[in-house]
Structure 1
Amino acid sequence: MQKKMQVVQTLLDTLPFIRKFSGQTVVVKYGGAAQVNPELKEKFAQDIVLMHLVGIKPVVVHGGGPKITQLLGDLGIETEFVDGQRVTSKEAMRIAEMVLSGEVNKEIVSMLNDHGSKAIGISGKDAQFILARAKDRSRWGYTGVIEEINAEVVENLMKEHFIPVIAPIAASKDPGEPGFNINADLAASRIAVALKATKVVFLTDTPGVLDGDGQLIGTLGSEKIELLKNEGVISGGMVPKVDACLEAIRGGVQKAHIIDGRIEHSLLLEIFTSEGVGTQIVH
């Protein structure tokens, strides 16, 4: 009986958060170990479906970098990263689109559908939902920068109670272009702003943003972030993540979170508990 009462109390403890976030849009950037480990994939799917069932409107934006790198390696195509972002040659662009829009996107959609939700996968090319330009063609190739997002495409899907699952491949305004590979963190940020999301949550393979001693920083503002970047404490792949968080906050998203996707149900812990997990980025 005691265990049953604990379950009831846990459910009651979530009520204020369910009430607060019901009807709100939450964008989740899905990547890292949570996208690879079979058990974590199941927990993630359960988290998203539960959020959807209690009235939250989740939108999943996913990466797929390790699978892209693996296939490029199998095909003998070199991979280069600058400041945590992939340099995308024309050959790499074809592989990125195949992996992201094909393999990864459909795997996530199937996983969510298997858990009883109604998920649908799209990329930025669908209905030209995301339009982009080259970041710097000579240096970055077909790595793109988002210029426009047609939020209505995703909003219409949510009105029909779909969970949108978005691959970060953008269309180009110029006919004949193969499109652009978009950093998934930055795509999640821009999509969150366009959808007027309450939160954007980034699942990573670290506890959050760490200080110079390797300790978790619970809350960060823009000034502290710039200081840590200048000191080299925030570097590599964490740079586009914190930049994406700042862009979201400046665009009107209430809070951005960088959490440890290696923890089971970290998404629910972040949204439905007062303590939360990871690092929150605030104004």
Structure 2
Amino acid sequence: MNELIFLKIGGSIITQKEIQKPQLNFKNLKRICNEIAESYNDKSMKLVIIHGAGSYGHPIVKRTGIHEGISSPDQLLSFAETQVLQNILNSEVCKILQEFKLPAIPVQPSASAIMENKRLISINSELIKNLIDISLIPVLYGVPAFDKAQKCSILSGDQIIVYLANKLKPQKIIFATNVDGILDSDKNLIEKISKENYEIIKNSLYQANYDDVTGSMAGKISELKNLKSIKSYIINGNKEGIISNILKGKKVRGTVIEF
């Protein structure tokens, strides 16, 4: 049986997230794509990739406020402009994956997603299943999407992952971030988070300082609470070899989350 893996690549490791204009971290992105290619075996692995927006999304969304809904024509334009920026980033990611002979196909989540009060209520999961069934690698991404209650809200990569995971049942979910895993307030690694210790540690997690309109690490864990019996791994995608090793099934430094 083929193993289905979801890989989330954080926007902070493929773009210059801390700056206020779209800028690719080309060196990191190329290395990550190479690591995926080294590990990918189309006969034993099915793969879905979801990437963050980084500097292609967070600054413009924060500046225009479209994550809180649409109340002016200017915000409608910002909604559309932000989608175009995400498409550009997604095309760059897919192009480099294809340079390494990976059948990466761009998928625009907002083309089928419906949100309500900032929560994803539906997306075309059957399309994703059909793509992976023929051994394509769908590449999705966080993006502004139509919201029934407020016209626009941010469909985060984490929400996409949880929704699709409940439909498609991957064996493993990997989050490649810019830290070694979930850290406590003293920046010590928390190796495992489960229903047994979540209530104890949830108020003592380290929070990064950069603007992120899709939520913090605490928000990520809150999303993953909605998954049952699927292991998620938070790892450092900035460190060479980590993504490659975990895709190969090797043990790496990070946090395991399972509720």
Q: What runs of 5+ residues in structure 2 fail to find an aligned partner? A: 16-24, 208-214
2:227 is the counterpart of 1:219: no
Q: Is the 8 A contact 2:3 2:46 kept in 1?
A: yes
Q: Is the 8 A contact 2:125 2:167 kept in 1?
A: yes
* 2:10 equivalent in structure 1: 31
1:51 Cα deviation from its structure 2 partner: 3.7
SS of equivalent residue, structure 2 residue 108: strand
Q: Which of the two has higher C-alpha Rg?
A: 1
4+ residue runs over 6 A deviation: none
Structure 1: which amino acid aligns with 2:27? E
* 1:41 equivalent in structure 2: 29
Give 2:216's match in structure 1, choosing from 230, 233, 237.
237
1:164 Cα deviation from its structure 2 partner: 0.3
Give 2:114's match in structure 1, choosing from 100, 113, 131.
131
Q: What runs of 5+ residues in structure 1 fail to find an aligned partner? A: 1-21, 136-143
Please provide the CA RMSD for this pair: 2.8
The separation in 2 between residues aligned to 1:179 and 1:51, in whole angstroms, is 37
The separation in 2 between residues aligned to 1:33 and 1:65, in whole angstroms, is 5
Instruction: Show the 5 A alignment for 1:113-262.
Output: 113-126=98-111, 128=112, 130-133=113-116, 135=117, 144-169=118-143, 172=146, 180-229=153-202, 231-233=203-205, 235=207, 237-248=216-227, 250=228, 252=229, 254-262=230-238
The separation in 2 between residues aligned to 1:149 and 1:162, in whole angstroms, is 19
Q: CA 1:211 to 1:66, structure 2 compared with 1: closer, same or farther past 3 Å?
A: same
The separation in 1 between residues aligned to 2:69 and 2:89, in whole angstroms, is 18
The separation in 2 between residues aligned to 1:41 and 1:146, in whole angstroms, is 28
* 1:94 equivalent in structure 2: 80
* 1:6 equivalent in structure 2: none
Q: Is the 8 A contact 2:39 2:247 kept in 1?
A: no
Q: Is the 8 A contact 2:173 2:232 kept in 1?
A: yes
Q: Is the 8 A contact 1:157 1:163 kept in 2?
A: yes
Q: Is the 8 A contact 1:68 1:95 kept in 2?
A: no
1:190 Cα deviation from its structure 2 partner: 1.9
Give TM-score scaled by structure 1 length.
0.73
SS of equivalent residue, structure 2 residue 247: helix
Q: CA 1:232 to 1:87, structure 2 compared with 1: closer, same or farther past 3 Å?
A: farther
SS of equivalent residue, structure 1 residue 152: helix
Structure 2: which amino acid aligns with 1:202? F
The separation in 2 between residues aligned to 1:223 and 1:157, in whole angstroms, is 37
2:48 is the counterpart of 1:59: yes
Q: Which moved more, 1:273-282 or 1:105-114?
A: 273-282
- Fraction of identical pairs, as percent: 22
1:205 Cα deviation from its structure 2 partner: 1.3
SS of equivalent residue, structure 1 residue 212: coil
Q: CA 1:110 to 1:171, structure 2 compared with 1: closer, same or farther past 3 Å?
A: same
Give TM-score scaled by structure 2 length.
0.79
Structure 2: which amino acid aligns with 1:68? G
Q: CA 1:258 to 1:88, structure 2 compared with 1: closer, same or farther past 3 Å?
A: farther
SS of equivalent residue, structure 2 residue 190: coil
SS of equivalent residue, structure 1 residue 34: helix
Higher-helix-fraction structure: 1
Q: CA 1:225 to 1:88, structure 2 compared with 1: closer, same or farther past 3 Å?
A: farther
Q: CA 1:201 to 1:110, structure 2 compared with 1: closer, same or farther past 3 Å?
A: same
Q: Would you say how many aligned residue pairs link Structure 1 and Structure 2?
A: 236
